[in-house]
Amino acid sequence: MSNKIESLKLLFKLSKMEIKNNLLTLRMMVLFPILMLFIGGSSWGFSDRNAQLPADVSANTPFEVLFLSSVFVLFSATLGVVLIGFDGISRKKNSGLLAIEFCQPTSRTILGLSQLFGVWLTVALPTIIISLISILLIYKQMDAFPSIGDLILFIFATSLVLLWYASIQLLVSSVAKDVGSAVTLGVGAWLLFTMIWLLITTVLATILGVDATNMDNEQFASFSSKVDMFSPNGLYQLLLEAKLDNVSRKLPIWQLSIATIFWTFIPSYFFIWRFNKLHA
Amino acid sequence: MAKALLEFNAVDFHHKIPSPKIFNPLNKIHGLGIENISLSLISGNIIGLVGPNGAGKTTLMKLLAGLLIPDDGEIIFNGEKIENTNRPNWSKKMIGMMPENIHWYGTSTPFKVIERLFTIRNMKNNNIEKFLDFVGLGVKAHDSLDSLSQGMHQRLSLACALIGSPDILLLDEPMNGLDPVAREAFAGVLKNLAKQGKAILISSHQLAELERMVDSVILMHNGEIIETGNLENIRKKYGIHNDLILKFPKKINDLDEILSKGNFENLNYKVSEIEDNFTIKINSPKGGWDTKTKQEILECFISNNMIPYDFTSQKIELVEILSAVTGLDVDKVGMSLREKGDNNE
C-alpha cells in the first residue's frame, strides 16, 4: 500500500515537473494567445446577440455558446496538444536522454504516465482557465451563466478530448524515428480527426447505402453519430450534444459511456505498453 | 576481496529489424547483435571494452544496463541469477550508465537535468550543486545547456551516470569530444571511483586512450568477444610488439652501412622522408625488444654522429591487435562488415 502511495507521489512530482518545463517553452508562448483568441474570442462573438452568424447557426443559451465554441477548442487546444506532444518521446529518444531515464530504478509506467499527464495538463490547464474566463465573457454579453451541470460537462468533455489527443500524440511519437516522421505522424493524426473525418463518414455512408447527399436527413445523422464515436472530436461533440435540446443525433448514454471509457483507456494503455517495450 | 558484481554467461542478443511483407507488414527479422558473450564486472576493476565500429560494444553496454533484454543466456547480479525479463529495480539502483553521444541542448540547465533524475530516483534534491561540483560543473550549474562546451556535456553525462553512487559504471565512448587535459582529469576521476570499489566498464574504439587507465581489456569484433585480459599479456600471446621510431633532422645516406656495424640480426626497417624529417621505423623482432638491443641501436647512430631528435616506441593501434587476434589482414580487418541475419522472428 505504502509503495503505491510512494509511486503516486512520484508520479505527481514528475508530472508537475513536466508541466512546468512545458509551460516555459516557446511553443507554449505561441499557443497561449491562440487559445485565448480562439476560445475566448469565439465565446465573446457567439454570445453577442447582435452578431449575424452564418447559415442558421444560433446560440440562445450560455451552453449553446459553449457548444459552438467547442469547435474552436477542437481547432486550437487539440492542435496545442500536437504542438507539445508530437516529439515528446522521439526527441528524448534521439537525444539519448530516454536511455538515461530508463537506466534509473523507476518503473517505465510511471515515467510514461508522467509524460502523458505532462503533455495533457500543459494544454488542459490553460484551456480550462480560458474556458472559465469565457464564462465571464458570456455573462457580460448574455447576462446569464451556464448551469453548474453544463459547466462541469463542458470542462469534463474538453479535458477528456485533450487527454485522448495526448495519448495519441505520445503513442505516435514513440513510433517516430526522427523529427520529420514525428511531425508527419502527429499532424497526420490531428488532420485525420479534425479535417478528414467527415469525408471518411461520407464515404462509409455511401458504401453502406446511407444517403449522404443530404446531411440533414435522420438516417445520415444517426449513421454519422455512430461513426463519430470512433473519433475523439466526434465523441467530444456527441458528449456535449447530450445536453442540447433539438438535436436529432442523440445516442444512448450507455453507448456514449462505453466510447468515452474506450477513448480514455485504450490509447493510454497502448502508449504505456509501447513505452514499456521501447528500445532507448 | 574483489567480487564479481555482474556476470554474463553465454548471452545472445539480436536486434529486430522491420522487414515488411505484403501479407505481414509487421514482419521483423533478426539483425546484427552479439553472440555468446561471457564476462564478469569485478569491484575495483576498470575494464576497457574495445572494438571497431559495429563490433557490438554499445549493444553489450545496453544489455548490461538492462536497456535491452537478452535473447538467451544467464545474468548473475551480486551472486543472484536474474531472469531475462525486465531487470528488477534493485539491480538498476546499482548500475549507472553514460550512453554514447547524448545531445544536450535547449534552455534547460545541468541543475534541472540532475534535479529531474534525482526526482526519478526519489532522492532529495538538496545537494545537486555539490554533486555537480564533483564533475567540475558546479559553476555552470545554472547555465543553459546550449551554452556548454562538448567537454562539459560529457561531464554532465558522467554526472547522470554517477547519480545514486552506483556500484557499476558503464561508460560508452566517454572520451569523445574531450581535450587531452579533460581526458587526464577524467581518467583521474575514474581511478578514484575504482579505488572506492566500483566496477567500471569503459568502451572505446581507440586503444591508446584506454591503455593507461584500464586493468584489463575485452576485445570485441563482429559481435563476439575475441580476447580478454591484460593488454600486455595479449600482446605477448600474439607476439605484437612496438616498432621503434627514430627521427633525424636530415637524411642518412649510408644507413645500411651504419646498421651493419652493429651486428644486429634480421633488422627490418623502413624509411620515410618528409621535408627535413627523416624517419626510420624498425620492426620489432619476434620476441619483442630487449632494453640492451634498443640501447645498442641508439649508440650505433650516435657513434656515427647521427643524433636522433626523437626516439620512441610506436603505439600499437587497435587494428593491429585485431588483425593479430582474428588472423585477418590489417587492411581487411577494419573494413570487414557483418552481413545481417535473415532468420524470421
Residue B341's pLDDT band (boundaries 50, 70, 90)? very low
pLDDT at residue B314, as a whole number? 77
Across A16-42, average pLDDT: 93
Instruction: Please judge whether A105 and B93 are an interchain contact, meaning their C-beta atoms are less than 8 angstroms apart.
Output: yes
Indicate the pLDDT class of residue B340, thresholds 50, 70 and 90: very low
| The pLDDT of residue A174 is above 70 | yes
Q: Which segment, A29-33, A212-216, B14-18, B274-278, is predicted with the most confidence on average? A: A29-33
In this complex, do B102 and A95 lie within 8 Å of one another by their Cβ atoms? Answer: yes
* Contact residues, chain B to chain A, C-beta under 8 Å: 62, 65-68, 89-90, 92-93, 95-97, 99-105, 107-108, 112, 115-117, 119-122, 157, 160-161, 163-164
pLDDT > 60? residue A91:
yes
**Is A53 in CB contact (< 8 Å) with chain B?**
no
Cβ of B67 within 8 Å of Cβ of A104? The answer is: no
Which helix (H) or strand (E) covers residue B112, if one does? Answer: helix B110-120
Q: Which of B61, B90, B120 to mutate to test the interface with A (most CBs of A within 10 A)?
A: B120
Q: What are phi and psi of B305, to 5 degrees?
A: 65, 25
pLDDT, tens only, B224-268 = 999 999 888 888 788 777 788 999 988 888 888 888 877 777 788
Q: Which residues from chain B sit within 8 angstroms of residue A100, using beta carbons? A: 97, 99, 102, 117, 157, 160-161
- Most confident stretch, A125-129, B189-193, B218-222: A125-129
- Chain B nearest C-alpha distance from A5 (Å): 13
pLDDT, residue B202, reads 94
Q: Do B99 and A100 touch (CB under 8 A)?
A: yes
Q: ipTM score here?
A: 0.84
The predicted model gives B96-125 an average pLDDT of 90
Q: Do B117 and A101 touch (CB under 8 A)?
A: yes
Which of B26, B62, B93, B116 is the best substitution to test chain A (most A C-beta atoms within 10 A)? B116
Q: Which of A21, A97, A107 sits opposite B102 (nearest CB)?
A: A97
Task: Compute CA distances A224 → A205, A250, A259, B74, B221, whole Å.
Answer: 8, 11, 14, 56, 60
> How much is the average pLDDT of A191-198?
92
Cα distance between residue B205 and residue B208, in whole Å: 9
The alpha helices in A176-207, defined as continuous H runs, are 179-191, 197-207
Which member of B90, B122, B161 has the closest CB to residue A10? B122
Separation of alpha carbons A150 and A138, rounded Å: 14
The 10s digit of each residue's pLDDT in B308-338 is 988 888 777 777 787 888 777 776 665 555 5
Query: Once rounded to an integer, what is the mean pLDDT over residues B104-111?
Result: 90
- Please tell me the distance in Å from B175's CA to the nearest CA on chain A: 17
pLDDT of res. B57: 92
Q: Which residues contact A144 (CB under 8 A, 6 or more apart)?
A: A61, A62, A138
Instruction: Write the pLDDT tens digit of every residue in B283-295.
Output: 887 777 788 888 8
pLDDT digits (tens, 9 = 90+) for B26-64: 888 888 899 999 999 999 999 999 888 888 999 999 999
Query: What is the average pLDDT score of chain A?
Result: 91
Q: What is the C-alpha R_g of chain A?
A: 20
pLDDT tens per residue, range A93-150: 989 999 999 999 899 999 999 999 999 999 999 999 999 999 999 999 999 999 999 9
> Is the Cβ pair B96, A105 closer than 8 Å?
no
Percent of the residues in chain B that have a pLDDT greater than 90, as a whole number: 28
Residue B343 predicted with pLDDT over 50: no
Residue B342 confidence class, pLDDT cut points 50, 70, 90: very low
pLDDT above 70: percentage of residues in chain B: 94
Interface with chain A: mutation pick from B102, B119, B145, B176, highest number of A CBs within 10 Å: B119
Mean pLDDT value across residues A247-272: 91
pLDDT score of A153: 95
